[in-house]
Amino acid sequence: MKPALRNPKVLAGSAIALLVVLAALFGDWFSVHALGQDPHTLDYLVINQPPSGHHLLGTTGSGEDVLAQTIAGARGSLVVGLVSALISTALGILFGVCAGFFGGVADTVLNFITNLFIVMPVFALTLIVAGYLNNTGTMTIALIIGVFGWAGGARSLRAQTMSLRGRDHVQAMRMLGESRTRLVFSEVLPRLYPLISAMFLHAVIGGVLAEAGLAFLGVSSPNTISWGTMIQNAQNQNAIINGLWWWFLPPGFCIAALGTATGLINFGIDEIANPRLGAARRAAQQAVKAA
């Protein structure tokens, strides 16, 4: 882990991600005690106020404090991101590793299902299934996003597992009579962790983006504040054509920041784990310097 944290990209990404996690954990407490604002408090005396000393990021059309809402939104968005990422990563491992390791009929069937989910219009499916379900709670939304979003990861895991299965250390353990379960869990899976963690990070931001997109289209859980529902409220109450930029800019910026953070971490890990990328870069840089 040490070399990873010395990488400036990983460091910057982790710092931003940590900030979001802290906001999700202690945001409510912070808003109430440090800012003196509760994200749920409606104050009809101060609606649509631009940023000021009292409301640092202004107020919404119902007089809620935008900064407090943005901090509270971290939890709503992150919970959906994490839960959906857990589900999709678990499904991805199940389908990808099983298909790659067992081969044969299992592979044919599992790989077919994976390919099917890759070519399906996932966002439209998610939207429609959520549309059929009338009461969509946060967990339902996360579940739908996760169930429809695992296929890409499964495909790369399958390819990696197939290559690992033929390696000497796995073959050796097989000769020694290790059970298949043990082979998968102690020989194959540990070597997939870098790929799995990258997939997971990718899925978190994918889940956050999908939740925001669904909320924007009106599929969200009422009473939950997330960055997506904030933008949806702003859109519904015509924040754009009334010029209330302070209302819809902060939540989108936060999503983008979280996305960049996961992107940077993945980039950094890739640089460390994939020496070829680094070597190619160095060679090319030298070529540039020489020219």
Partner 1 sequence: MSSGTRRRAIAFARRLRFYVIAAWSAVTLNFLIPRLMPGDPAQAVVQQLEVKNGQNLPPQTVEAIRKLLGGVHENIAVQYWHYLGNLFTGNLGISTGNFPTRVTTLIGTALPWTMLLMGVSTVLAFLIGTGIGALCGWRPGTRTDSVLSPLSTFLAAVPYFWVALFALWLFAFRLGWFPLAGGHDPDADPSSPRYWLSVLHYGLLPALTIVFSSCGGWLLGMRNMTLTTTGEDFVLLARAKGLSNTRVLFRYAARNAMLPQLTGFALALGAIIAGSVLTETVFTYPGVGSLLKQAIDNRDYPLMQGILLFTTLAVLVANFLADSVYVLVDPRTRAQGGDAS
Q: How many other CB atoms are there within 10 angstroms of residue 245's CB atom? A: 14
Number of residues in contact with partner 1 under rule CB under 8 A: 60
267 near partner 1, rule: CB under 8 A? yes
Which stretch, 56-64, 85-93, 163-171, 272-280, contacts partner 1 (CB under 8 A)? 272-280
Question: Across-strand partners of 59?
Answer: 65
Q: Is 155 in the site for partner 1 (CB under 8 A)?
A: yes
Question: Which one-letter amino acid corresponds to residue 52?
Answer: S
Print the binding letters for residues 55-94 with partner 1: x by CB under 8 A, - otherwise: ----------------------------------------
- Is residue 98 near partner 1 by the rule CB under 8 A? no
Three state DSSP letters for 25-67 = HHHHHHHHHHHCCCCCCCCCCCCCCCCCCCCCCCECCCCCEHH
Asked if residue 139 binds partner 1 (CB under 8 A), the reply is no
Q: If you compute the radius of gyration of the chain from its CA atoms, what whole number of angstroms results?
A: 23
Please report which residue ranges of 166-240 form alpha helices under DSSP H.
168-175, 180-182, 189-216, 227-236
Which of 214, 197, 200, 212 lies closest to 269, judged by CA? 197
Closer residue to partner 1 (CB): 183 or 195 = 195
Query: Which of residues 167 and 281 has its CB atom nearest to partner 1 in the complex?
Result: 281
Residue 200 interacting with partner 1 (CB under 8 A): no
- Cβ–Cβ < 8 Å for 258, 16: yes
**Interface with partner 1 (CB under 8 A), residue from 70, 88, 111, 233:** 111
Mark 217-256 with x for binding to partner 1 (rule: CB under 8 A) and - for no binding.
xxx--------x--x--xx----xx-x-x--xx-xx--xx
CA dist 210 to 62, 74, 215, 234, 261, Å? 26, 15, 8, 18, 17
Q: Which of 207, 204, 187, 214 is nearest to 265 (CA)?
A: 204
Draw the binding track, 24-53, toward partner 1 (x: CB under 8 A; -: no contact). ------------------------------
Least gap, CB of 247 to partner 1 (angstroms): 10
Which among 29, 131, 147 has a CA at the least distance from the CA of 84? 147
Binding site for partner 1 (CB under 8 A): 111-112, 114-116, 118-125, 127-129, 131-134, 155, 205, 209, 212-213, 216-219, 228, 231, 234-235, 240-241, 243, 245, 248-249, 251-252, 255-260, 262-264, 267, 276-277, 279-281, 283-285, 288
